[in-house]
Amino acid sequence: MIRISVDVMGGDYDPEVAIAGAAIVQKYLSNIYFLFYGIEEVVKPVLKKYPCLDSISRFFPTESYTRMDEKPSQALRNGRGKSSMWYAIEAVKNGEADACVSAGNTGALMAMSYFCLKMLAEAERPGIAGIWPTLRSESIVLDIGATIGASASQLVDLAVMGAGMFRALYHTEKPSVGLLNVGVEEAKGLYEIKKAGMILREVQLEGLEYKGFVEGNDIGKGTVDVVVTEGFSGNIALKTAEGTARQIAEILNSAMRSSFLTSLGYFLSRRAFRTLKNKMDPDRVNGGVLLGLNGVVIKSHGSANANGFASAIRVGYEMVNNGLLKKITADLRRFHENKETLFDQEDEAAMSGESL
């Protein structure tokens, strides 16, 4: 039995999204149990509409919920021991749940999870990993916004955690890993990335195959299974890709409506557009994973629909089912045990050119 604690109150829309998402998941996963957290007056009437969840869930009323516009520190102050988000996370800490899912405010979720669950002994800093649809299939990109900037050692941690997540989700023994970089050979300021590349080549981790540097356009191609970068550029990459996809959709949409012929053409070829939509659908690959913590916490997109929320629950389920934390911990330990030796080596190796 895998138990998922759900912050029903998170997200931009109504709480029905989370509960309807749970109802979708229970259709194809028999060994799942839900712990719902939220304001009683809001959640109870919704739960009544989903009797299919009666026997596999329990509802815990909470005093408050964390709003989408609260700053992380404010959310922690206001929500600690009170809000639905806090209780959903605490259920993981107390061993009552195996994973937590929330569509709430990312900063607040990160802060509360960090405060409540603490870091894995082996990880230096948390990261958020996203699932990115690619031409090949799907890749994991991290960090997409947990922390800004990263040392070489922190980039290696991210590589290990991202590869562990990829193995848990896609059952690949040795996922390929690339470090996101710019295509300038002699560029300055990339010391930490080059150093991380050297370490990944040297340390020969069990759970990943290091492939070298990748550029922004390699993400969509699916050149590697796991793309590693620090949170600033990761977030810029994610948002820019979303913006570009929306831009193309809007241009095409209005061009298709511009005449009778194009409208007819659209009608006849709508199956192709459905294929595109399915492949790029943010709801299909929904679920940012907070990595590096003593517990599994999944962030569903604030604007996800019930199918999207179901995907996020599914991600949490797979993580637990495939022993994500154990997988990550072993490789992190292996890296940190060898770290001193690795960092003692001549730095020159790190500065030599390298690319895919």
**208: buried, middle or exposed (CB in 10 Å: 19+, 13-18, 0-12)?**
buried
Q: Which is nearer to a second copy, 37 or 132 (CB)?
A: 132
The answer to whether the beta carbons of residues 345 and 202 sit under 8 Å apart is yes
Q: Which is nearer to a second copy, 119 or 264 (CB)?
A: 264
Cα angle vertex 43, ends 38, 48, to 5°? 145
Give 56 or 252: the residue with its C-beta nearer to a second copy: 252
For a second copy, the closer of residues 280 and 330 by Cβ is 280
Q: How far is the CB of 237 from a second copy (least distance, A)?
A: 4
Residue with Cβ nearer a second copy (28 or 267): 267
Q: Are 31 and 2 in contact (CB under 8 A)?
A: yes
Give least dist CB 65 to a second copy, A. Answer: 19
- Order of strands across the sheet that contains 176-180: 57-61, 32-38, 2-7, 99-102, 296-299, 288-291, 127-133, 138-142, 226-228, 176-180, 209-214
**Rounded CA gap, 80 and 64, in Å?**
10
The enclosing H or E element of 253 equals helix 231-256
* CB-nearer residue toward a second copy: 62 or 176: 176
Nearest to residue 315, comparing CAs of 1, 107, 4? Answer: 4
The minimum distance between CB 254 and a second copy, in angstroms, equals 8
Nearest to 299 by CA among 2, 1, 18: 18
Range list of β-strands (E), the chain: 2-7, 32-38, 57-61, 99-102, 127-133, 138-142, 176-180, 209-214, 226-228, 288-291, 296-299
Least distance in Å: CB of 27 to a second copy? 28
Rounded Cα distance between 204 and 350, Å, is: 16
Kindly state the smallest distance separating residue 327's Cβ from a second copy, in Å. 28
Q: How far is the CB of 138 from a second copy (least distance, A)?
A: 12
Nearer to a second copy, 52 or 255 (CB): 255
